[in-house]
Amino acid sequence: MSIPYLIAQWQLPQQGRLLYATLVVLGAFVLILGLVPLLQTLPPRGRRVLIVTITFLAGLFFAAEFFLPVDWTAIFPKDDPTRNFLTPAIQPAQNVLQIIGALALGLGTFGLVRLHMRNVVQKRAQWGYSVVLLVAFVTMAIFSILNTLSEKGVVTKTPLLERGFSILFDYTLVQLDAAMFSLIAFYIFSAAYRAFRIRSVEASILMFTAVVVLIGVVPLGAYISYTLLGLPQGPPPENADWWTQFLHSAGLPSIANWILTALNAPAQRAIEFGVGIGGLAMAIRLWLSLERGVT
């Protein structure tokens, strides 16, 4: 059961629900602030035991909900046969994860502001960039919060707010993102140059395959195949001989598509499989608090 569901069941008026939800949030915030100094009074070993226990129990809950069978009606009667007895608690647990993520975002913001404020106060090297970051951070945050509140009808959306939000996000942030990603193309070209040096037979095959794919996926490949060479375009007709089928599949776009789907896709799946195993191993280590950062 979540707090909004309980509030809705009490049949309170709209203002009463809002007041009660606000009090609940403030009470939870005060409770968390009260727990922080309490945790600080614990010895390091006690804090570690508490963190390890909570981490293990949280991970055990999600693992048990996923692996437990769904047909437990004989032990835990329920209306939905596709769930086990832990499934109704998944959504509240995910809400708690969102709260933890919000607190982590707040801690990260606090650390960022404290670091750059220290740079400005102590006038460290290149402290001017810290001033620019702080001013941009505060300005963007103010306009973003006001725009969100205006969309929800809490504050009035003025032309100044709409224009300022559009300038900051549509005409500044989006353009800076585009410029940053365009600069990445030069690094990709440099890495490709180093990777495609022809020093062996394998490097030659890689270079030839890369050139075919690069040309085949752009309009230049279709122009060379179907205009200059005059190869037939599209799938071959039914009951066509092997030569006709070969001509229909000899275009650079068809070859590039075959390389991507028949050769590159299995390699990508193998890489994703290895990454998945590594992620599972890392998740188990975090769950059991075996990482060095937890000790």
| Alpha-carbon separation of residue 65 from 1, 27, 59, 88, 257 (angstroms) | 17, 30, 10, 10, 41
Q: What is the reported pLDDT for 194?
A: 76
What percentage of the chain carries pLDDT values higher than 70? 87
Res 70 pLDDT > 80: no
pTM for the model stands at 0.59
Q: Which range has the top average pLDDT, 55-64, 93-102, 189-198? A: 55-64
Q: What is the reported pLDDT for 72?
A: 57
Q: What is the reported pLDDT for 269?
A: 93
Q: Dihedral sign, CA of 64, 68, 70, 73? A: negative
Of residues 63 and 16, more confidently modeled: 63
Token duo for residue 265: 């896709």
- How crowded is the C-beta side of 176, counted as CA atoms within 13 Å? 6
Residue 7: pLDDT band by 50, 70, 90 thresholds? Answer: very low
**In whole angstroms, what is the distance from residue 166 CA to residue 129 CA?**
24
Q: What is the reported pLDDT for 277?
A: 95
C-alpha triplet 60, 63, 68: angle, nearest 5°: 115
Q: Dihedral sign, CA of 109, 115, 118, 119? A: negative
Give per-residue pLDDT as tens, 235-262. 888 888 888 888 888 888 889 999 988 8
Distance from CA of residue 43 to its chain's centroid?
36
Q: What is the reported pLDDT for 295?
A: 45
Q: Which range has the top average pLDDT, 81-95, 143-157, 194-208, 263-277? A: 263-277
Give per-residue pLDDT as tens, 78-109. 555 667 778 888 888 888 888 888 888 888 89
Q: What is the reported pLDDT for 30?
A: 81
Q: What average pLDDT does the chain have?
A: 82
41: DSSP letter: H
- What is the number of other CB atoms lying within 10 angstroms of the CB of residue 130? 19
**In whole angstroms, what is the distance from residue 103 CA to residue 96 CA?**
11
**In whole angstroms, what is the distance from residue 69 CA to residue 61 CA?**
14
**b/e burial code for range 210-243 (CB count within 10 A of at least 16 → b):** eebbebbbeeebbebbbeeeebbeeebeeeeeee
Q: Which range has the top average pLDDT, 41-50, 146-155, 169-178, 202-211? A: 169-178
For the chain, give the longest Cα–Cα distance: 83
Token duo for residue 5: 């569901």
Q: Backbone dihedral region of 267: left (phi > 0), alpha (psi from -120 to 50 degrees) or beta?
A: alpha
